[in-house]
Amino acid sequence: MHPIDLENVTVRKYDTPVLFELSWRVLLDEQWVVLGGNGSGKTTLLETLAGRWAAASGKVKRTGTVELVANDYSFHRIVQAAAQYYQQRFQAQEAEIAPTVREVLTGQLKPIGTVDERSVTLPPSPYPPEHLTEIAQLLRLQELLDQPFITLSNGETRRMLLARSLLRQPDILLLDHPFVGLDVHSRQVLREALAVLATQGVTLVLATSPGEVPDCMTHALLLHQGRIVQHGAVEDVKVPPSTSAGTLATSVQEAPRVVLEEPEFTSYAYAFRLRKIKVVYHGKAVLDELSWDVKKGEKWALMGPNGSGKSTLLSILTADHPQRFANDYDLFDQHRGGKGTSIWDIKGRIGHVSPELHLYFPTEATVFKTIASGFFDATGVYFRTLTGPQTEQVGTLAQLLGVGTLLDRPFRKLSKGEQRRVLLARALVKNPPLLILDEPCQGLDIASVEHFKYLVDTVCSSPERTLVYVSHYPHEIPSCVTHRLELHQGKVV
């Protein structure tokens, strides 16, 4: 018996063919890594193996139980009874009633809106306590079990969702870019956990980048435009270098001046000044007396491990955090935005992209409308008519980020990497004086990362533009960055 056996499989997503005539067999004790660029079909292949997409032709055979750990840690799909909206992760009062990690893992979730807990009878946990303890220890989650899950960092949430799948004891475990969003420690924890699972007879199929292949993987499959171009022993499969970085460099140099011009708003000395910022959940300080001054034109890298407070800090700057009113800070030389300054005035001066924004972004709008919504700080929907220069700006940025041919397609029909490039274009489209890019290269292949770094370096060559850039990978940080702030447990180190 073979855990996985594909015979001439073709798969369509919506009305678009994505995978073409795939034939592939996985033997017992083989651990496979799936490689390929953005849009090559990696995620679709894993979703097909998990039964989320049916083969238009050919046969898909699986032996045993299958678990897919998705690449977007989607609370609203994976934990339906605890569905959250974008800002809710930062709401202290919502954290008080949110389910804990333990409740999420064991499926003991009270319906949203429960007033009297005594009115709800929950079934017993389907998992023995010792099994939960074993999985929590494997993924270093013991100290998080009784913490509200919406207060977890991106990396902690990824480990929680992997634990949820492991509790079901799958025979085949599919992991879609599991290292995305993880700090150095969490990546090592995951590698060690996968090595243990491989020795326990679990068949692993892992979609990732060439630089993140765990040592326990024995075989590799390389996809290109939905077709298998190489497969075999992991050391024998070579990913060819991309030549598209030079193409992007040329396109940026030849772009209309409107893309590279200085921001319209430049009359400020400091992009922001934060004075002893403090954010507390359940008596625990997520940000602890944090001060940080960033002058106009400075380019900063914001670093720190998962759970250090980076996303919470950025949510203060982007006016998404309710505790911003309890703190003392200036934005663009105005105290908390200034008297008479609305939240939309603040957002209008900031170009922002983050994993949370991607997670909760509406998916029905076209790529054109998604990028254009950045002019109005709307989430994919707007009711204004674009000017001629604005329409041109949308097209130019789409072209620069490699999505110029996708303008009429719905956002939901793109690959995750293509979606991220669209949101990057959205962040840049209004030519903001302050760019806040929170792990902007999540989901991008190697060539796209180099493309984006070049574009950021070009856009930020202006002394009038300020940058805050977050990444767990030093090689992803653009060369224009000259300053660094590192956090640990809510404090500056």
Does position 84 have pLDDT exceeding 50, yes or no?
no
Quote the CA–CA distance of 389 and 197 in Å, as a whole number: 55
- Maximum average pLDDT range among 145-149, 244-248, 396-400: 396-400
Residues 200 and 71 in one domain: yes
Residues 297 and 424 in one domain: yes
For 430-441, the DSSP string reads T--SEEEEESTT
- Maximum average pLDDT range among 7-21, 71-85, 355-369: 7-21
**Domain CATH code at residue 457:** 3.40.50.300
Does position 287 have pLDDT exceeding 90, yes or no?
yes
Residue pLDDT, tens place only, 88-137: 454 544 555 677 899 889 988 776 656 566 777 778 889 999 999 999 99
Does position 24 have pLDDT exceeding 80, yes or no?
yes
Does position 258 have pLDDT exceeding 50, yes or no?
no
Beta-carbon contacts of 474 under 8 Å, excluding residues fewer than 6 positions away, are none
Residues 320 and 422 in one domain: yes
In a domain, 36, yes or no: no
pTM: 0.82
Q: Give the total number of structural domains in the chain.
A: 2
In a domain, 95, yes or no: yes
In a domain, 28, yes or no: no
Domain final position from 183, 214, 236 = 236
Give the mean model confidence (pLDDT) for residues 313-324. Answer: 84
Residues 283 and 196 in one domain: no
Give the mean model confidence (pLDDT) for residues 147-165. Answer: 83
Q: Are the CB atoms for 386 and 372 separated by under 8 Å?
A: yes
Share of the chain above pLDDT 70, in %: 86
Residue 283 carries which DSSP code?
T
Q: Please report which confidence band the pLDDT of residue 280 belongs to, taking 50, 70 and 90 as the band edges.
A: confident
Domain final position from 236, 258, 288 = 236
Does position 283 have pLDDT exceeding 90, yes or no?
no
pLDDT of residue 244: 44
Quote the tokens at residue 227. Answer: 């077709």
Does position 247 have pLDDT exceeding 50, yes or no?
no
Residues 223 and 95 in one domain: yes
Residue carrying the six token digits 């309710």: 322
H/E element, 54: none
Nearest to 214 by CA among 34, 476, 355, 65: 34
Does position 176 have pLDDT exceeding 90, yes or no?
yes
Quote the CA–CA distance of 142 and 148 in Å, as a whole number: 13
Nearest to 177 by CA among 200, 156, 144, 208: 208
Q: Please report which confidence band the pLDDT of residue 380 belongs to, taking 50, 70 and 90 as the band edges.
A: low
Q: Are the CB atoms for 263 and 432 separated by under 8 Å?
A: yes
Residues 200 and 262 in one domain: no
Does position 81 have pLDDT exceeding 60, yes or no?
no
Does position 324 have pLDDT exceeding 60, yes or no?
yes
pLDDT of residue 381: 67
Range of the domain at 305: 246-492
pLDDT of residue 253: 52
In a domain, 329, yes or no: yes
Does position 86 have pLDDT exceeding 60, yes or no?
no
Does position 12 have pLDDT exceeding 90, yes or no?
yes
Does position 413 have pLDDT exceeding 50, yes or no?
yes
Q: Please report which confidence band the pLDDT of residue 259 belongs to, taking 50, 70 and 90 as the band edges.
A: low
Helices (H), 364-463: 367-372, 388-400, 416-428, 446-459
Q: Which amino acid, residue 373?
A: S
